Amino acid sequence: MKKILSEQISSLTIPEKLELISDVWDSIIIDDTQVPLTDSQKQELDRRLESYQKIENKGSFWEEVKERIIKKNV
């Protein structure tokens, strides 16, 4: 069965392969409880979330950035 599947995938166009990848990924994230995290992965995610939450400057809206660019180039 693996060889048949591989042959079928090989015959797909790039857009079809990308769609297949998307479909497979979507099927994985539907049931994310099936993909357990290790303790170190959980700790790293917690560390990154804490770091993100400490950031005071969360960025700017596109319209503000665009206005600054336009003013700078005038």
Model pTM above 0.85: no
Query: pLDDT category, 74, cuts 50, 70, 90?
Result: low
CA 66 to centroid of chain Cα atoms: 26
pLDDT (tens digit per residue) in 6-54:
889 999 999 999 999 999 988 877 776 777 889 999 999 999 999 999 9
- In the predicted model, what is the mean pLDDT of residues 58-63? 90
CA dist list (Å): 32 to 25, 39, 46, 73: 11, 16, 18, 47
What residue spans define the domains of the chain? 2-73
